[in-house]
Amino acid sequence: MKVIIVGATGAIGGVILQHVLRRNDITQVIALTRRPLPNNNIPNKKVENVIIQDFGDLENVQDETWEKIQGADAMVWSMGTYDLNEDVNLKYPLTFQEDFAKRLLASSRKREGRRDKFRFILLSGAFVEPDQSRRLYFLWDQRRMKGVLQTKTIEFAEAHRDVWEALIIRPGGILFGGGTFLNKATECVFGRSLAIRGEELGAFVADLVVSGSQQPIIENSEMVERGRKLLHEAV
């Protein structure tokens, strides 16, 4: 199985990359980034780092780059910011979906038989708000913007259901550093609905890439439960 990860230079994307690489059923990983990965994030030969410096100018991306990612089975989109950067948080992922889907449709017409759907996994958040009319009390603009992305991603998958499926993951606060006292205290305060350890998220997403989900939107508590089980089974 061939998987693309967008945003692997970030803390969350980096953890997801590490866990994806541990899966024997994932044979190739394309880390699609705007800047090179640190050398310590490329632990084996399964991963290839492909640079797209400007996700807002996909028309000028070289054919060689598209060819490298063309045969992928799934993508994890973990690129994002916490500010009002409309390009990164809305335009880039939507434009990339549109361009990549066009290429999938073109390639599927050339193939005989049925093609499996491409699996697009979007990293959203527990506080992201798809309901644009709902009154919010903090970070309203950021939450609504990412809510638009969530809604449009689902609509896009529905419109291209023959070749495309979308899964939205909505983690709460992501805790890095393992079982530290602070992390344990945070988990006690916020519980499974609003807190998840980085390794739990990574293990869950790696499994989601391979196994998929019957539900298009997956909340924090489900990710925690499944992630912990996967980590326990791996010991």
**pLDDT means over runs of 10, the chain (235 residues):** 94 94 94 83 77 88 84 94 93 94 71 70 96 91 95 96 95 89 84 91 97 95 96 89
Residue pair 199/178 in contact by the 8 Å Cβ criterion: yes
Tally the residues of the chain: 235
For 51, the domain range is 2-234
| pLDDT (0 to 100) of residue 120 | 97
| pLDDT (0 to 100) of residue 114 | 44
pTM of the model: 0.92
Instruction: Tally the domains of the chain.
Output: 1
| pLDDT (0 to 100) of residue 112 | 46
Report the SS3 class of residue 1. Answer: coil
Q: Residue 50 forms beta bridges with which residues?
A: 32
| Interatomic CA distance for residues 179 and 176, integer angstroms | 9
| pLDDT (0 to 100) of residue 69 | 86
Supply the Cα-derived Rg of the chain in whole angstroms. Answer: 17
- CATH number of the domain at 53, please: 3.40.50.720
